[in-house]
Amino acid sequence: MIRQAHVRGFTLLETLVALAILAIALSAAFRAVGATTGSADGLRERLL
């Protein structure tokens, strides 16, 4: 009986899920940076 070597790696579904999680995390990070920049601009306007 010939045994096939078990190929290890990521499935397409695992890769897509990881990419979706990464996209959500990056989106949240960009929103946070944008909100921080906006509040800093508002504070600067109040101080001047």
Output the DSSP codes for the chain.
-PPPPPPPS--HHHHHHHHHHHHHHHHHHHHHHHHHHHHHHHHHHHH-
pTM of the complete model:
0.65
Contacts of 18 (CB under 8 A, 6+ apart): 10
CA 33/CA 40 separation, integer angstroms: 10
Mean pLDDT of the chain: 86
Tens digit of each residue's pLDDT (9 = 90 or more) over 24-41:
999 999 999 888 887 877
CA dihedral 25→28→32→38, nearest 10 degrees, is 140
